[in-house]
Amino acid sequence: MRAAIVTVSSSRSRGEDESGARLAALAERVGAEVAGRDLIPDDRRLIEERLRHWADVERCELVMTTGGTGFAPSDVTPEATRAVLEREAPGLAEAMRSASRAHSSHWMLSRAVAGIRGSTLIVNFPGSPGSIAEAGEAIADALPHALDLIADRPSIH
């Protein structure tokens, strides 16, 4: 299984990407090989293009984004993601928000979404490196089963 990481951050688009590194570790934890990583600014068209690239051209089964899911005017990752999705998977985003509740009073400010494009699962994660561990823990066990279902592979229910 192949995964891609897309970090969305205008402030970090020229620097270090700790959040992307944490998502790469999560991908490997669930059994994925990281096919590539992008570090891009908060630009809706660019986000949509990179999501389409990793899903349609590179055929990654899992694409995880970090950043751009808050309330700031520049936070457009959920809108870009919805524009490329064919079906939403709201339970994943709900589980991540719920897991963050014990760690942050701002948990409900996340607008992250998740869903399916073709045979690819796309999941928005928070931009905070610490929040990625919490959110990832909430859905890590479900990801392999979800990917099996999307690929129409036999899977234990």
Q: Is residue 30 part of a domain?
A: yes
Collect the ranges in the chain with pLDDT lower than 70.
11-15, 157
Q: Is residue 156 part of a domain?
A: no
Q: What is the model's pLDDT at position 15?
A: 59
Query: Each residue of 6-32: pLDDT tens digit?
Result: 999 876 545 578 999 999 999 999 999
Q: What is the model's pLDDT at position 138?
A: 93
Query: Each residue of 79-94: pLDDT tens digit?
Result: 999 999 999 999 999 9
Q: Is residue 155 part of a domain?
A: no
Sign of torsion, CA 78 73 110 32? positive
Query: How many whole angstroms separate alpha carbon 112 and alpha carbon 9?
Result: 15
User: Which CATH number goes with the domain that contains 128?
Assistant: 3.40.980.10
Q: Is residue 124 part of a domain?
A: yes
Number of domains in the chain: 1
Its pTM stands at 0.93
What angle is formed at CA 28 by the lines to CA 19 and CA 119, rounded to 5 degrees? 95
Alpha helices in 53-142 (DSSP H): 77-84, 90-100, 129-139
Q: Is residue 41 part of a domain?
A: yes
Q: Is residue 16 part of a domain?
A: yes
Q: Which domain holds residue 80?
A: 2-150
